[in-house]
Structure 1
Amino acid sequence: MSDLSGRTALVTGASRGIGQAIASRLAAQGATVVVHFGTDEDGAAATVDEIERAGGTALAVRAELGVDDDVETLFAGVEAGLAGRPLDILVNNAAAAPAGPLGATTRAEFDRLFAVNVRAPYFIVQRALPLLRDGGRIITISSVATRMANPAQTSFAMTKGAVETMSMTLANELGVRGITVNAVAPGATRTATNGAVFEAPGLVELIAATTALDRLGGPGDVADVVAFLASDAARWITGQVIDASGGLFLGPRT
């Protein structure tokens, strides 16, 4: 396990699911973690409590993303929590869920998707750069939706394609500072909050049958990849989209 002792991390959307797992994993490796949440205060408190009970250090910061002044609200809390310390790791995990197929998506849903999934991470990076030390890490959570045609997730996939492009171009811009910028693309990942989705008869079996590693993913599977990219071991990886789907839809298995 790579050592992140003495480093600081901001993980957006860390009150539950994949974000919670990422925050806990980075803290377990020694980082002080700022746990961002939008509305789930209890979930954020539970994340901080879990980290502290395991011997780590964390603090929660509330800021609703996708609204006016969201980034300034977030960083007012981040800077107060860091108390003058630089930021070492930024994980853009918070995202709005798919809004549905083309025929059903409203303008308001479309605008919210882009406000939360694209505008917020873009300006979070912009705001974080003066705090981010040379040699730091920027990691954004994307999705395998960018490499497959799913009519129910067209607008969502568009937002994730945007942050993948952002990661590649920022990697080229920020490399002179030794900052690596990458994206991680999970596939079907069962969490405590979306578990009901996978209760549909036959769905788990269908997904497993189209996944090379023959199972659903869990939050820890994605958190491990993020923790690796945050570590010194990943110092020579930048501008990449790391597929963390277990090999979802790679092709026929028989």
Structure 2
Amino acid sequence: MTKATDFCETPRSGTRLPRAVVTGGSGGIGVPVVRGLLGLGYEVVVLSRRAPSLCDPHLSHIVCDLADTGDIERAGSAIVSAGAPIAVLVHCAGIIEPGAIDGLKADALQRQIAVNFTAPVFLTSLLLPLVRRGGHIAFVNSLAAVYPLPESSVYAAAKAALRSFALALTIEAKPRKISVSSIFPGAVDTPMLEQEMQSGGSVLNFVNPPATPESVAATVIRAVESAHGGEYFRPAIDGIFGRICMGCPKLLRFVLPLFTWIGKRGMKRHARMKRRV
């Protein structure tokens, strides 16, 4: 395992840079999040199976399989042993394996719960003592937490649980003035979305055009820079509708045929745009 470095020091002043820890920083939304944090002057430690493609003297990597609690514990211990306080902790890693309930496989169930829920909860527990007063913890969640998709029940359940954890953490972390944010994007134009659709993902992903990873990362950075935590939904109107549906599940079932029709049209339009690129 690659071990995290201690605080980096700037060549001119020798002052210590604030430390940020990011999971899933080697792909998807994670790469622009890491780039944004580096641009703000953070030293960034990435936890992921693959090394980030970015090259920066203030970027370090810990090899970590976030589906393995033993790996998470070893990575957490490496960071704790360095002893440097953490200014920002961002949980970007996530996976989805769509499929009907009646065909659910045990390993698919365990992987999705492990990466989407257990990993951020366990890692937060390990690193919370190092998060400095006034620090920030951000969770890249999903609209599926409040707008569950057919064929993605396990993913939606894990994300809904993560939302509840973040809300509880907000209360626990308040005495130390640690802010907690959750970002809820809809579909994002990443390899994860392509893999999801190849595996039978829901056409509801395309009711709105998929967001770019950079635009979601910009929301994450904006949340981290804010002095207050909170919930950020992209697009905002979907967050409002999703939360209404959580209070009135019949509404979602009522509009599902219309949204399915819109989603099919959106998916065809997205495919045409991809072919042109």
2:44 to 27, 33, 56: 33
Give 1:248 shift. Answer: 4.4
Give 1:242 shift. Answer: 1.2
Task: Name the residue aligned to 2:4.
Answer: none
TM-score, normalised via structure 1 length = 0.79
Q: One-letter code of the match for 2:217?
A: A
Q: Give RMSD over aligned pairs.
A: 2.9
Give unmatched runs, 5+ long, in structure 2: 1-15, 242-254, 260-277
Matches within 5 A, 1:221-240: 221-231=215-225, 234-236=226-228, 238=229, 240=230
Task: Name the residue aligned to 1:9.
Answer: 20
Change in Cα spacing, 1:176 to 1:113, as seen in structure 2 (3 Å) is: same
On the 8 A contact 1:14/1:22 being kept in 2, the answer is yes
Q: What SS does structure 2 have at the residue aligned with 1:152?
A: coil
Give unmatched runs, 5+ long, in structure 1: none
TM-score, normalised via structure 2 length = 0.73
Please, which moves more after superposition, 132-141 or 65-74? 65-74
Give 1:195 shift. Answer: 4.8
CA-to-partner distance for each residue in 1:9-60, whole Å, 9 max, x for gaps?
A: 111011111011111111111111111112x23xx2x13x1xx2xxx62111
Q: One-letter code of the match for 1:32?
A: E
Question: Does residue 18 of structure 2 align to residue 24 of structure 1?
Answer: no
CA-to-partner distance for each residue in 1:86-133, whole Å, 9 max, x for gaps?
A: 111111111222342212221221122112211111111110111110
Measured in 1, the distance between the counterparts of 2:211 and 2:237 equals 10
Task: Name the residue aligned to 1:70.
Answer: 71
Q: What SS does structure 2 have at the residue aligned with 1:89?
A: strand
On the 8 A contact 1:221/1:244 being kept in 2, the answer is no
Give 1:198 shift. Answer: 7.3
Task: Name the residue aligned to 1:241.
Answer: 231
Q: How many residues align?
A: 227
Measured in 1, the distance between the counterparts of 2:36 and 2:212 equals 13
Measured in 1, the distance between the counterparts of 2:193 and 2:154 equals 20
Q: One-letter code of the match for 1:169?
A: A
Task: Name the residue aligned to 2:107.
Answer: 108
CA-to-partner distance for each residue in 1:215-252, whole Å, 9 max, x for gaps?
A: 32011111111111111xx213x3x3211236448599
Measured in 2, the distance between the counterparts of 1:120 and 1:160 equals 12
Q: One-letter code of the match for 2:232?
A: I
Matches within 5 A, 1:16-165: 16-38=27-49, 40-41=50-51, 44=52, 46-47=53-54, 49=55, 52=56, 57-79=58-80, 83-165=82-164
Percent identity between matched residues is 25
Higher helix share: 2
